[in-house]
Amino acid sequence: MYATRTVHSAQSAYRENAVATASPARLLVMLVERLVLDGERALAAQETGAWTEAHRHLLHAQDVVIELESSLDVEKMPAGKQLAALYQYLRGCYVDANVKRDPETTRQALDLSRQLCDTWREAAMTAALQ
């Protein structure tokens, strides 16, 4: 049991250090990667009827989208208003998926989250190369 606790502590410290030292672009990518993970976990839970677990992951996905929305400076970013609308739509999808217990809505939100993640990864790599 001690070894398990030590490994868990080391993993936790590593994650905290990775977040603390990440660039803003990397933080954004990490955030959307977590959004995808939440969507995947929620969908898997819904498909097995584990509604409490699905609810937890869908709520976290909503929190992640809210964080994305709050970090967006609509006036400074080209197409910022469109991105804000996309985030709002995505959050609504995760809310609907949760309220209606609808795996298809979760699947749609997950697909959109994956596309968003790919886009932010590409943007972060492009920015890193400049």
Q: CA-CA-CA-CA torsion for 8, 114, 54, 91, nearest 10 degrees?
A: 120
Q: Can you give the pLDDT at residue 14? A: 43
One digit per residue, the tens of pLDDT, for the chain of length 130 reads 556 666 555 455 444 545 455 688 899 999 999 999 999 999 999 999 999 999 999 999 999 999 999 999 998 888 899 999 999 999 999 999 999 999 999 999 999 999 999 999 999 988 888 7
CATH topology of domain 23-129: Four Helix Bundle (Hemerythrin (Met), subunit A) (1.20.120)
Per-residue pLDDT, 43: 98
Q: Quote the pLDDT of residue 10.
A: 47
Cβ distance 34 to 53 under 8 Å? Answer: no
Encoded tokens for 93? 């999808």
Cα gap 107→42, rounded to integer Å: 9
Question: Residue 22 phi/psi, 5° resolution?
Answer: -75, 150
Domain ranges in the chain are 23-129
| Residue given tokens 């804000």 in the structure block | 84
Distances (CA, A) of 47 to 53, 76, 107, 110: 11, 41, 11, 14
